[in-house]
Structure 1
Amino acid sequence: MFGDTEGPPIETLVFVGERERPIGMVGDLRVVGYNGDSLRLVWDGVPQVTAYRITWRLVDGREEQTRVVRPDVTSYTLDGLREAAVYQLLVSALVGDNEGRPVTITARTQDPSANGRREPVRPRSPSTPVFTACPEAQADLVFLVDGSSSVNVENFRLVKDFLSRVISYLPHIGADGTQVAVIQYSDQPMSEVQLNRYRDQSLLLQAVQAIPFRGGGTLTGHAIQYVLHMIFQSSAGTRPGVPRILVVLTDGQSLDSVERPAQEASASGLTVYAVGVGEANRNELQQIARDPRRVFYANSFEDLIHLEANLSQGICQVAKPVKPEVSKHNAFFKVI
């Protein structure tokens, strides 16, 4: 229109081309060899990629390094690492300039001063169930972790490593994926990581590693009640229609009863897993989980490594899959 005169209509065609297919994720990323200052990674390849990107950094985000390798390379040795340090390891597939979603795991290098004791990073044995990740999982997941004095600082560090490895099976963190909270308890429960605080797995893992050890008694029943009434609430970030999962990890018998809190948790629809270590009371673990298939036990904190895959697989089976986005292809839009 110019002044009061309207010209002929102008017709514009906008073409939206077909979206590129998403790039697949590498499979079964794992550590198969390690030393004080090195870790060897192996993964299953992705068809028709042009390269793989390998990224590693300390879980606090420092000292990040990246390498790009050929598409026929499906293993890589990371050298020059810090001894007895926890690293976040990521591998993603590349197609030209486009990058797929990375698969992430955490691993600890050996401590030379440990007198031959194996740190909790071990090669996968042929009999170990193969389970890699569930990137489409959607759940509200709460770890309720015993921080009583019987655990001690060193073992609590191993607990944090265990949590980090389980979280690594859940790369899709946030409001449209899996939300994770960590509650440490002893005489009183303490919310260390809030349920709706993190949308990035790397930042979440850093927060887990930064949790301090608190010490005290073991009031597991009181801690479960706290989670029910203070954490699994919409005001704390719990989402309607999303599976709610509680993982309780303890190394001893509770000083209070867990029976009524466990019944309340089950009646409210929570799926509860109980992880016991060392002197944990197995009958009490059964009371907490309400199902023997959801009870896990390790003889020592170092042996938690053997539980992570099965626990993660159980969590992923309960979690609700994220619905894929629906997109239109080869669409023409006519604007007049």
Structure 2
Amino acid sequence: MPRIVRTRPRSGTTSGTSTYSSILAQVKEQGLLGRRIGFYWALFGALIGSLGVVWAAFALLGHSWFQLIVAAALGVLFTQFAFLSHEAAHRQVFASHKWNDQAGRLLGTFLVGLSYSWWMNKHTRHHGNPNTVGKDPDIAPDTIRFRPEDAAAARGPLRLLVRVQGYAFFPLLTLEGINLHWLAVRSVVTGAATKADARHRWIEGGLLTARFGIYLTVVFWFLPLGMAFAFLGVQLAVFGVMMGASFAPNHKGMPVLAHDAQVDFFSRQVRTSRNIRGGWWVSFLMGGLNYQVEHHLFPSMPRPALKQARLLVRDHCATLDVPYTETTLVRSYGIVVRYLNEVGLAARDPFACPLVAELRVR
């Protein structure tokens, strides 16, 4: 079950500021916050080249059901471009804020079909208060519920789903691609994430219109109607599963902080984050998000430096007796499924489980 943490500073302990300053000094001393422009240009070039190969295969295959393989490949590539947009949003790519924003918006909005402004708004709040009740939008109640209180409040057909939400989580991710595109369009139409800058709203509206217009025209023009819909279904399913499966293991099942918890920055970020072991292939598949602890401590750190920072942070945590959580990818998925199912118990009968009642925030 989720543990609601109400931490307050203890007298006689090292201050949160000095705790973080110490590890930050070590990171700076080893030059781990320096830009890695060469890495990002090489990655971008490889992805663009791969995109060209995939579209060439699309043109050559014609009206063949092997096009579904092309669709799956596109789902993988769009996810990788989304990771690059995420890194640009965190100022990991360029030293210039303007260049990062332009790159993030071009990659995320035009190539992938997401609203860069909406993502920035939501993700910034998550980074400031990960797993914090009422502050982290990533644990706010939605189709999936992340706290017993929210699970117990579910009504109608949703309540039936929440009861088995752990088992339903990964199947539901096949719809996440559609959801992300819908949120992007809705954000631009309503101006929800760009009220402070109407210019960005118009830019993103134009980029989204061009993106969906070009993409859908190509698919439906060159493929028979049924095959075109199947193509889109596979591409969106792969994209949704890869996006959700990359972000979910990082915080789900970790301690949940009460709204008024007084926790220093270092402890807040480390205690609520989980790293994923597995080497370079996991780092590629997850866009560097497998080093979630380090990413939260140093959001602007380039992807290649996160592996080196991990050794410093892990030793620092051992010195301070702060839990440093790390597991395999498969085991993390098991943790997520079990956690969501345990939360879902509250949707069955919130009074039948003493543990649920005990863990409620009062």
The structure with more helix, counted as a fraction of residues: 2
Q: TM-score, normalised by structure 1?
A: 0.27
The structure with more strand, counted as a fraction of residues: 1
Q: TM-score, normalised by structure 2?
A: 0.25
The higher-RCO structure (CA 8 Å, 6+ apart) is 2
